[in-house]
Amino acid sequence: MYQYLKGIWKKNMALKFTWRIWILIFVLVLSLLSIFGIPSFQKGVIIKSVDTNSTAFEQGLRAGQIITSIDGKKITNIGDFSSSLENKYNFNESVKIIIHTKDSEIILFSKIPPEIIVSEIQKTNIKMGLDLAGGSRALVQAQDKKLTSSEVNDLVDVISNRLNVYGIADLNIRPVSDLSGNNFMLIEIAGATPKDLEELISKQGKFEAKIGNETVFIGGEKDITSVCRNDATCAGIVSCQVSGNSEFCNFRFTIYLSEEAANKHAEITGNLDVNATNPEYLSEKLDLYLDDKLVDSLFISKGLKGRVTTQIAISGSGSGQTRAEAYDAAEESMHKLQTVLITGSLPYKLEIAKLDTISPILGDQFIKNIFLAGFLALLAVVLIIFFRYKKIKSSLALLLTSVSEIVIILGIASLIEWNLDLPSIAGILATIGTGIDQQIIILDEAKQTAFLSIKQKLKRAFAIILGAYFTAVVALLPLLWAGAGLLKGFAVTTIIGITTGILITRPAFTDMVKKIEED
C-alpha cells in the first residue's frame, strides 16, 4: 500500500511541476529578491540630502548614510531623530553632538541643527513616484522657442545642478516629448509645494567666478565662450593615486574666456602674491558661485599671475574606497563643474506649461484603497470562476497566476528602478484584467466539446491570446510619448505585465489547466 501511494505521489508531482511551472517559480523567487533584497536588520534613519555649505557636510555627513545614534541615544525612526535634537539649540550657543552612522562617527559643533533631510529606511526596493510619495510636478518649456532634444538635455543638466545646489531631496528631472514633436523638461520634487517649485524654476541662475571680493567672469556667452565637454583632448581624468586608505582621481578640462574676461582675470591676478605654504599657486582661490551660493573653490596656478589668457585649465578630484569609486566620483564632479560653468548661457527664459501638486496623505490612502479593491476584485473573480467551472483547483490556479504577475511586475520595476506612479498602478490593474480574460479563454477552450485533444485546445487558446498580445503592444506604444510622457508609466508597466504573461505565467497556467482537466 505504501509503495502504491508513493508511486501515485511521484506521478502527480511529475505532472504538476512541469518545466514551465518551474520557470514561474524561479522567476517569482528572483522577483521577491529584487523587491525585498537581502533581509537587513539595520535600524536608524537614512540621510536623503545634506546642505553642501553646512558644517554637517564639511565633517563628512553624506546622502545615503544611515544614522544609528545621536549622543548615545539609539535612532530607530524619525521620531527618535527629532527628539534627540529637541531643545538643544535654544540658547544661540555652539552645541556639540556626536552622530554615529553605520560606518563612522561624526562630531559637530554648531549653533543650529544639522542641515540634513532624513527619512525612514525603506523596507523594499520599490520606488514610489510623486503621485504616491507626494510633492510637486512641473512641465517646463522655453518661452517663444521650440527646443531641440539636445537643447532639452543641456537644460536638464543645468537645472539639475541648480536645484541640487539647494540640497533638495528626491529630485527627478528628465526630458520628455509629445506626439507633436515638442520637447519639454519634466521636474518632480517630493515634499515641495507648487509655489516653491515655481520660484526655483523662475530664477535665472546667476553664475559668478570671484577672486576675493572681485568678480572675474560670469556664466553665459558674455564671458565664457566655450566649455570643453566630451572631448578627451581637453577634458578627462588625468591621474589616480592612493592616499592612506582611499583612492583619489584627478580631472582637468579647459574653458575659454572672452577677451574682456581674460583682461579682467590678468588685472586681478597681477596683484596677488604667491601662496606661502603652496608656492605652485597664488595666494587667493577662484571661487565659483551659483545664485550667490559657493559651489567650488579652485587653486590658481602661479603661471597665470598677470597673464592675459583666454584659455584656463580647471582641475579637481574625486575620492572613493576603490579606484573605480574614485574614478566615478571624479567624473561626476567634473561633469557637475562643467555644467555650473555654462549655467545661464542658454539664450531663453523658462515657463511652466503645467504645474501639479500631490498630497502624500492622498498617496498613502490610495495605496491602501488600491490593495483593498484589488483583493476584493480577485476574490470576486475566484468565486465566479468556481461557480462557473465547479472546480476549486481552477479558481486557485487563476488566483495564483494573477498574484504571480503582480509580484513579477513589481520585481522588474524594482530591478530597473522604475518609479511606480498612478499611471503605473493603472497599468498593473490593466494587466490583471487582461490576464484574467486570457485565463478564462484558456479555461473555456479546455472545456469545449470539440473532438480535439486537451493539448490542441490549449494551443488554440494560446493562439488567440498571442494575437491579442501583439494588438495590445501596438496600441500601447504611442502612449510612451502621449501627453509629453506623462502616460509612459501606464504603457511601460502594461507592456511589462502582458509580456510577462505571454512568456511566463500564461504557459504555466496552461500546464496547470492541462493537469486539472486530465485528472
Whether residue 130 is contained in a domain is answered as: no
- Residue 141: give its domain's CATH number: 3.30.70.3400
Burial annotation 31-49 (CB, 10 A radius, 16+ → b, else e): beebbeeeeeeeebbbbbb
Whether residue 126 is contained in a domain is answered as: no
Are 27 and 113 found together in one domain? no
pLDDT band at 191, cuts 50/70/90?
A: low
Strands (E) across 359-410 are located at: none
Q: How far is Cα 101 from Cα 115, in angstroms, rounded to an integer?
A: 16
Whether residue 429 is contained in a domain is answered as: yes
pLDDT tens readout for residues 485-507: 567 777 888 888 888 888 888 78
Whether residue 75 is contained in a domain is answered as: yes
Q: What is the pLDDT of residue 118?
A: 76
Are 329 and 392 found together in one domain? no
pLDDT tens readout for residues 57-110: 778 888 778 888 888 888 887 778 878 877 777 667 778 888 888 778 888 888
Q: What is the pLDDT of residue 94?
A: 79
Are 224 and 285 found together in one domain? yes
Q: How far is Cα 416 from Cα 116, in angstroms, rounded to an integer?
A: 28
All 3 cell numbers of residue 362?
492622498
Q: Please calculate the CA angle 65-96-103 and round it to the nearest 5 degrees.
A: 25
Whether residue 481 is contained in a domain is answered as: yes
- Residue 405: give its domain's CATH number: 1.20.1640.10
Partners of residue 74 on adjacent β-strands: 69
SS3 (DSSP) at 393: helix
Q: What is the pLDDT of residue 434?
A: 77
pLDDT tens readout for residues 310-361: 888 777 788 888 888 888 888 877 877 776 676 554 556 777 777 776 655 5
Are 168 and 242 found together in one domain? no
Q: Do the strands 127-128 and 419-420 form a parallel or antiparallel pair, or are they unpaired?
A: parallel
Out of 19-28, 249-258, 339-348, 490-499, least confident range: 339-348
Scanning 134-284, the segments in alpha helix (DSSP H) are 149-165, 194-202, 259-269
How large is the average pLDDT for residues 187-199? 64
Q: Which domain holds residue 271?
A: 207-342
Q: How far is Cα 422 from Cα 408, in angstroms, rounded to an integer?
A: 18
pLDDT band at 1, cuts 50/70/90?
A: very low
All 3 cell numbers of residue 10?
511521484
Give the residue with greater pLDDT, 163 vs 142: 142
Q: How far is Cα 403 from Cα 449, in angstroms, rounded to an integer?
A: 30
Average pLDDT over the chain, rounded to an integer: 75
Q: What is the pLDDT of residue 459?
A: 67
How large is the average pLDDT for residues 190-213? 67
Give the residue with greater pLDDT, 507 vs 422: 507
Are 113 and 148 found together in one domain? no
Are 193 and 272 found together in one domain? no
How large is the average pLDDT for residues 199-227? 75
From 90, 120, 150, give the residue that closes a domain. 120
Which residue type sits at 84?
S
Q: How far is Cα 139 from Cα 178, in angstroms, rounded to an integer?
A: 12
Q: What is the pLDDT of residue 198?
A: 67
Partners of residue 293 on adjacent β-strands: 290
pLDDT band at 422, cuts 50/70/90?
A: confident
From 357, 387, 411, give the residue that closes a domain. 357
Domain count along the chain: 4
pLDDT at residue 306 tops 60:
yes
Q: How far is Cα 186 from Cα 355, in angstroms, rounded to an integer?
A: 10
As a whole-number percent, the residues of the chain with pLDDT over 70 amount to 75
Q: How far is Cα 6 from Cα 10, in angstroms, rounded to an integer?
A: 6
Cβ neighbours of residue 349 under 8 Å, at least 6 residues apart? 142, 143, 204
How large is the average pLDDT for residues 273-286? 85
Which residue type sits at 95?
V
Are 316 and 385 found together in one domain? no
pLDDT at residue 6 tops 70:
no
- Residue 96: give its domain's CATH number: 2.30.42.10
Cβ neighbours of residue 483 under 8 Å, at least 6 residues apart? 178
Burial of residue 473 (number of CB atoms within 10 Å: 0-12, 13-18, 19+)? middle
How large is the average pLDDT for residues 202-223? 75
Q: What is the pLDDT of residue 57?
A: 78
Are 22 and 164 found together in one domain? no
Q: What is the pLDDT of residue 4?
A: 44
Instruction: Please report the sign of the dihedral spanned by the C-alpha atoms of residue 38, residue 42, residue 44, residue 50.
Output: negative
Are 482 and 388 found together in one domain? yes
Are 116 and 164 found together in one domain? no
Whether residue 127 is contained in a domain is answered as: no
Tell me the whole-structure pTM to 2 decimals.
Answer: 0.53
Are 252 and 296 found together in one domain? yes
Which residue type sits at 431?
T
CB 250 within 8 A of CB 238: yes
Whether residue 472 is contained in a domain is answered as: yes
pLDDT at residue 121 tops 60:
yes
pLDDT band at 5, cuts 50/70/90?
A: very low
pLDDT at residue 24 tops 70:
yes
Whether residue 128 is contained in a domain is answered as: no
Are 379 and 278 found together in one domain? no
pLDDT tens readout for residues 448-486: 655 556 566 556 666 767 767 777 777 777 776 665 556
